[in-house]
Amino acid sequence: MESIESSSGISRRELLKATGTIAAASALAGVVIPQHVYAGETNTIQVALVGAGGRGTGAAENALSTKLGPVKLTAMADVFPDKLKGSFDSLKGKFKEMVDVPEERKFIGFDAYKQAMDSLKKGDVVILTTPPAFRWVQFKYAIERGLNVFMEKPVTVDGPSTRKMLALYEESLKKNLKVGVGLMCRHCEARGELFNRIKDGELGELNLLRAYRVSGPTGSAFVNKKQGDISELMYQIRNFHGFLWASGGGFSDFLIHNIDECCWMKDAWPVEAKGYGGRHYRGEYVDQNFDSYTVEYTFADGAKMILEGRGMINCQNEFASYCHGSKGSAVISQSGHAPSGARIFKGQKMTEDQVVWRCKTPEPIHISWNGITSCMPSARTPLTTK
């Protein structure tokens, strides 16, 4: 690609390395930086995709949609040739010359992540969207290679790997690497406006938060018996949401968003949790997920958060998060992740006649790996219910 001249002497690659607000590929999707800040060199940021399933493909789409500057997908890795081919065909069809992945940079196998990262230069970006069981190993190698990282959530599946990821996070800070994680609700401007209003005291002291993701079968958390001659290992990796060692199960993968947005509004993490769950209806499914989950979280100030999760057919569905304070209550999200439908009520009765503020709903903004959108924030003026 033709180089871009600048009197500043700062290259895109140096800027990505030096700017603390840029978080790897997640930031590439929406930040515009003026052309004059770049040095006279080839400044294309190269991206490698490790894990070419639906989430990885979506994350690569986000990276290639950036307004930041020249970016190309130059390497791909997966353990399943069909997934890599499907992802490549989709991305090539949408982005054409921005996808520069010849056959020699399409890597298959359990060491493919190394080969893909080895093809990059320091300061480039790797997207890690394999099942989280492999995440700490791949993150460690990315740090060794000096690469910025976008990784899909969840990032760990158990206590030991969590401690490893926390230690690796400290290592990434020492190298000034940027790391983004796919908790996309944090990019929602409507929720951000609600958070600011809560911090300004409009709800008083938050003492209760409620989160619900109760629905029918969700994604690949329901797994059928193995068919054909695929090995048990590859069968479980292909259906990783159904097996706790590979993904942590549907609880950590799907309910995490509602938990996260509630903790965001509370501006704190729980210090205690007690939970219950059971398997009530599965028929011939062989996965390791429960059908229902109930967790009571306690924050340091004694406030509570109640989480309800379920994956059963022919039951009432709800996909929403709420918070309650001493001065009023609020919808954090409702009817899915987006649009959030964020609004504040003057009391604890959540009816339309009690609404004192709601987010505006103009053209939605793109906030996530799979095209999830959310409404924009309103001005800081209470709106009527009309």
pLDDT digits (tens, 9 = 90+) for 278-295: 998 778 889 999 999 999
User: pLDDT band for position 266 (50/70/90)?
Assistant: very high
φ, ψ dihedrals at 206, nearest 5°: -70, 125
First to last CA, the chain: 52
Give backbone dihedrals phi and psi of 292, rounded to 5 degrees, phi first. Answer: -145, 145
- Candidates 3.40.50.720, 3.90.25.10, 3.50.50.60, 1.20.120.1730; CATH matching 12-182: 3.40.50.720
The pTM (predicted TM-score) of the whole model is 0.82
User: In the structure, how many helices (H) and strands (E) does the chain have?
Assistant: 12, 16
Q: CATH 3.30.360.10: which residues of the chain?
A: 186-374
Segments in the chain forming alpha helices (H) = 12-18, 24-28, 54-64, 81-95, 112-118, 135-144, 159-174, 189-199, 232-238, 244-247, 249-254, 256-266
Whether residue 154 is preceded by a cis peptide bond, meaning omega within 30 degrees of 0, is yes
> In the chain, where does the domain assigned CATH 3.40.50.720 lie?
12-182
Q: What is the pLDDT of residue 8?
A: 36
Query: 361: pLDDT confidence band, cut at 50, 70 and 90?
Result: low
Domain at 186-374, CATH homologous superfamily: Dihydrodipicolinate Reductase; domain 2 (3.30.360.10)
For residue 370, name the pLDDT band (cuts at 50, 70, 90). Answer: very low
Of 32-46, 64-78, 310-324, where does mean pLDDT reach its minimum? Answer: 32-46
> Pick the residue with more confidence: 219 or 3?
219
> Which pLDDT value is given to residue 261?
97
- Is the model's pLDDT at 229 over the cut of 50? yes
On the question of pLDDT at 15 being above 90, the answer is: no
Q: Which residues pair with 49 in a beta bridge?
A: 76, 127
What pLDDT, on a 0 to 100 scale, did the predictor assign at position 244? 95
The residue among 30, 70, 31 whose CA lies nearest residue 47 is 70
Quote the CA–CA distance of 249 and 323 in Å, as a whole number: 26
Q: In the predicted model, what is the mean pLDDT of residues 163-180?
A: 96
Whether the CB-CB separation of 88 and 76 falls below 8 Å is answered with yes
Mean pLDDT score of the chain = 85
Q: Dihedral, CA atoms, 129, 130, 133, 136, nearest 10 degrees? A: -60
**CA–CA distance, 108 with 370 (Å, rounded to integer):** 24
* 2: confidence class by pLDDT, cuts 50, 70, 90: very low
> Is the confidence at residue 354, as pLDDT, over 90?
yes
Distance of CA 172 to the CA centre of its chain: 19
